[in-house]
A = this chain, B = another copy of it.
């Protein structure tokens, strides 16, 4: 059963309803499959118009949607207003990208006379939409990674119908946004199968969706446990399909000694704000802070401690996430090698920031410390030198982001010690920051929100930014293609 719940009070709101039945899920997938060819055949202009109409409808309905979102997530109206604006911006951005040919990559090579290998036929490389995409909405972005979030927008941009698995944490908002989407689909003259909603809190709904033969790809934002389990199902199908899972990470932030030349105050405040932003409920929340064992490092940690102790995060998304946070922090409290620096000890209600410190040797020795605690908690790891930073980054192994403060900014390449840190960060991360904090992921063409496993199950792909379209189109070659087909320059049949 699904029911709208007040995230702050736990109070139930309105009537409960059943999750989607197996028959309803089959029907949703069948509708998407039957709409696939017609949707794929739409021109770039038609796809762009659809994406812009979705953006406009979201904006037009903001006044009705925002209170529901706030009640179900406790994220607060300012944040949710910004997130809705970002979601509309993203839909419009994908519309622009489609018009610029992002879903096509047309490369036409003329024939060359003569024997192989130099002689060759005319070859044209195009991209074709994959077909129906299953999208799993996330809990922590009720607009931007939910019903009409980046995964849906990029699938639509690619010309693929979407079967959206709503997140049970904001079930009423999901229904409301899905109703808006269905209206826009109809207004744009598209088949209803272009957007389908399925609902459920049980594992069975997601399993059935991933195993549906007509589903051609899966996009998922959520936990390591859920994501890797579904990824395995996708790989074990008679016909495996790509599983684009964005699973979160610890997002190491390295404070190189040069970063503290201007004093610790501003940086400590920036970092404390990032750790507590949205009660720490971001997949890019900095969870491991690497600080050198020296006096400026001590001063920075002391400042961070002071500022975190004074912070007051808002309520978490739901009781399950709140309980998981408390369990994670409890594990750290009881860890023999950890020195607790900030601990508000508030097991219920709004969470309190938690900060602990550990020596790099103890961090490297215990893999449990490399796992994310979702919420406003971070671990300070103290190091002697940059070789230990390299070892730490390699031990973490795969992360959405790494942040390196204090890398020289000029045109002169730094020494090998710093270079090795940069090289390793590049090897283990989806995004490497040289200033600022990892929370906040700009929606642009250059963005990459992914990274090596376990940050993502598909490290070559991004779930944010316009390259996300590439997840849902497959390249192929046409040999000696007829004129009428080449005239489409890769736009689909």
Contacts and interface: CB of A to CB of B under 8 A. Distances in A.
A285 to B, nearest CB: 16
A121 B442 contact: yes
B483 A117 contact: no
Contacts of A90: 117
Nearest to A478: B432
Contacts of A435: 121, 479-480
A479 B433 contact: yes
A493 B419 contact: yes
Contacts of A467: 125, 475
A232 to B, nearest CB: 8
A69 to B, nearest CB: 17
Interface stretch (A296-304, A338-346, A444-452): A444-452
A86 interface: yes
Given A397-B239, A419-B493, A476 B443 contact: no
A115 B442 CA distance: 11
Contacts of A412: 484
A151 B128 CA distance: 25
A440 B116 contact: yes
A471 to B, nearest CB: 9
Contacts of A475: 448, 460, 462, 467
Contact of A446 (B85, B125, B447, B460): B125
B240 A457 contact: yes
B109 A483 contact: no
Interface in A404-423: 407-414, 419, 422-423
A426 interface: yes
Interface residues of A, number: 82
Interface in A442-493: 442-448, 451-454, 457, 459-460, 462, 465, 467, 474-485, 487, 492-493
A235 B485 CA distance: 38
A478 B434 contact: yes
A59 to B, nearest CB: 13
A476 B118 CA distance: 34
Given A423-B493, A442-B117, A493-B426, A434 B474 contact: no
Interface of A: 37, 82, 85-86, 89-90, 107-109, 115-118, 120-121, 123-126, 128, 131, 232, 235, 239-240, 242, 397-398, 407-414, 419, 422-423, 426-427, 429-436, 440, 442-448, 451-454, 457, 459-460, 462, 465, 467, 474-485, 487, 492-493
Given A128-B426, A407-B482, A459-B474, 13 more contacts: A117-B442, A120-B444, A239-B397, A239-B452, A239-B453, A410-B483, A426-B476, A434-B480, A434-B482, A435-B480, A446-B477, A447-B477, A460-B475
